[in-house]
Structure 1
Amino acid sequence: MHKIAIYNNKGGVGKSTLAVHLADALRRLDLKILLVDLDSQNDCSLFLGLEEKPEKTFFNLIDYRYPADLKECIIEIRDNLGLLTNTNYELIEKDLHRATRIDNFLDKVFEKTEEIYDYMIIDCSPSRSILNSAILFYVDSIIVPTQLEIASIRGFSDIYNYLEDLDIDSAKVKLVVPNMFDTRTKEAEDNLNELKSIFDEDMITSPINRRTKITEASKAGKTIFEYNSDTQLEQFYNIVERVIELG
């Protein structure tokens, strides 16, 4: 199982949208995917049309008093796609502070998933937190979506400083996804070129164009694959190809 974190310390860059579409695209290739929604806003759950609050979530899975079984906490939200949501985010943080070691905490939590799923995709909150630290230790790869705005691009140094503080190899950052690319503006093109000057070419994926159809699909609880077939699909599939190359 290849474990991927979708992370940026800046909000509003499309993390949850990317996580949901990547998960949906991979499961359509007959791969078994576990999408773990550990963003405090639970946007992945919203974007996949989950209307009822689950009885058991990630919080119950790690509850040291009454731990739930993994199968009780995962919702089969689509064929080949399991969803693990979260509740009580602040209590999760408090419980993790009780952990003896944070660097291998999730290895034990997700031990049973290794033989079931081909990919685990974790949507992270845009922050430095003990939960995010545990996630970044746990995953094999980090994918960073970014808006093509100069503030977002300059914020990459904060991500690398965070990894350095945790003593995590920065090589875990495998892909950078330029998101919400506005083809009509020179600023977006200039910022894309700025991004390309910072990172190796093989780290940057094709940009995802700004499209109202993606927003409409998310509000409807669907992915773009389910909502409207257009050229936007090719952009996501290009990213999927890059992810599969990671292993």
Structure 2
Amino acid sequence: MAQIIAIANQKGGVGKTTTAVNLAASLAVLKKRVLLIDMDSQGNATMGSGIQKNDLLYSVTDVLLGEVPIETAITKAEVGYRVLGSNRDLAGVELAIAEQDGREFILRDAIQQIEDKFDYIIVDCAPSLSLITVNALAAVKSVIIPMQCEYYALEGLADLTQTIDRIQQALNPDLEIIGVLRTMYDARNALTRDVSDELEQYFGKKLYETVIPRNVRLAEAPAHGLPIIYFEKSSKGAVAYLNLAAEMLKKTKVKKGSKA
């Protein structure tokens, strides 16, 4: 049974899609069966996986509208994992399903058809609280929050945790934040260190030890349609995301062991 994880933050520009793509790639390198679901109409996770969003035969839009089974819409990327891609067609889906019974659970029901084929399903959420994002959060068990260590990020974090609490109470009682990831991290910056300390006090063990540094090669990789580990495997960004995947696997193993 797959572990289903959303990468979410209502604030844009925090490395959300970068994290979704590179975590998926790193887990695949570690021999895990991975599906990346792009739930953002910008389609950046699709493009960052080397798939042209405008050339998709089927996309997540077709799945949400019930036009094809999810398995039909999944594309095999050349970077070690599979992708349920997205493009601008997704922007019109919310209106189409707004009056539909069970509209919040369309993605959840679709994933149930294929989750036994994967070890990890990573869902890249849009930076907004739309019905599409609610679908994503109703479908997963876990949330990873990527965030920059800056003042305004803390305000956005409070909004996001409230959103997750509301969805947990109303739609998905199993939903939980499993990790907070510091991205674009610059240890030379005093504010970065101060915000990082606040995060550590607030989230404790849920704050990943791994930090994602500011890295030129990491920023360049999406333009080449490649996760960083395929673009420049020796870069600091590639090493950081491999470390994140390893840390996540270790925490998952410990958690499973504690329940045994």
Superposed pair shares fold, TM > 0.5: yes
Aligned partner of 1:60 among 59, 62, 71: 62
Q: Is the aligned partner of 1:132 residue 2:98?
A: no
Q: Which residue of 2 aligns with 1:78?
A: 78
Output one character per residue of 1:12-36: Cα deviation in whole Å (capped at 9) or x when no partner: 0011100000000111122111100
SS in 1 for 2:185: coil
Structure 1's unaligned 5+ residue stretches are: none
Contact 2:218 2:238 in 1 (8 A): no
Q: Does residue 29 in structure 1 map to residue 34 in structure 2?
A: no
2:252 match: 246
Counterpart residue identity of residue 246, structure 1: T
Q: CA deviation at 1:123?
A: 0.3
In structure 2, the partner of 1:215 is 219
193-202 vs 33-42, which moves further: 193-202
**Aligned-partner SS, 1:56:** coil
Superposed CA deviations along residues 105-127 of structure 1, whole A, max 9, x for unmatched, are 32321222122111100000011
Q: Cα deviations across residues 90-137 of structure 1 (Å, max 9, x unaligned)?
A: 322123323312453323212221221111000000111111112112
Identity of aligned residues (%): 25
Name the counterpart of 1:173.
177
Q: CA 1:184 to 1:144, structure 2 compared with 1: closer, same or farther past 3 Å? A: same
TM-score where L is the length of structure 1: 0.91
Question: What does 1:162-241 correspond to in 2, within 5 Å?
Answer: 162-166=163-167, 167=169, 168=172, 172-228=176-232, 229-241=234-246
How many angstroms does 1:69 deviate by? 2.7
Taking the aligned partners of 2:105 and 2:119, their CA distance within structure 1 comes to: 20
Note if contact 1:96-1:131 (Cα within 8 Å) is conserved in structure 2.
Answer: no
Further displaced range: 44-53 or 13-22: 44-53
Residue in structure 1 matched with residue 102 of structure 2 by the alignment = 101
1:200 deviates by 1.3
Q: Secondary structure at the match of 1:199?
A: helix
Asked if structure 1 preserves the Cα contact closer than 8 Å seen for 2:39 and 2:136, the reply is no
Deviation for aligned residue 1:80:
4.2
Alpha-carbon offset, residue 54 of structure 1: 0.4
Query: What is the RMSD of the two structures over their aligned residues, measured on CA atoms?
Result: 1.9
Which residue of 2 is the match for residue 69 of structure 1? 69
Aligned to 2:257: none
1:169 Cα deviation after fit: 5.2
Q: Look up the match of 2:7.
A: 6
The structural deviation recorded for 1:46 is 1.9
Secondary structure of the residue aligned to 1:178 is strand
CA deviations over 1:57-98 (Å, ceiling 9, x no partner) = 11112324xx11323311100364111112322322123323
**Counterparts of 1:203 and 1:188, CA distance in 2:** 15
Q: 1:186, CA displacement in angstroms?
A: 1.6
- For residues 131 and 210 of structure 1, the distance between their equivalents in structure 2, rounded to whole angstroms, comes to 30
Rate the CA distance shift 1:164–1:232 in 2: closer, same or farther, 3 A.
Answer: closer
Larger helix proportion of the pair: 2
Question: SS in structure 2 opposite 1:18?
Answer: helix
Matches within 5 A, 1:15-26: 15-26=16-27
Matches of 2:103 and 2:246, distance apart in 1: 32
TM-score calculated relative to the size of structure 2: 0.87
Worse overlay, 93-102 or 55-64: 93-102
CA distance in structure 1 between the aligned counterparts of 2:180 and 2:235, rounded to whole angstroms:
23
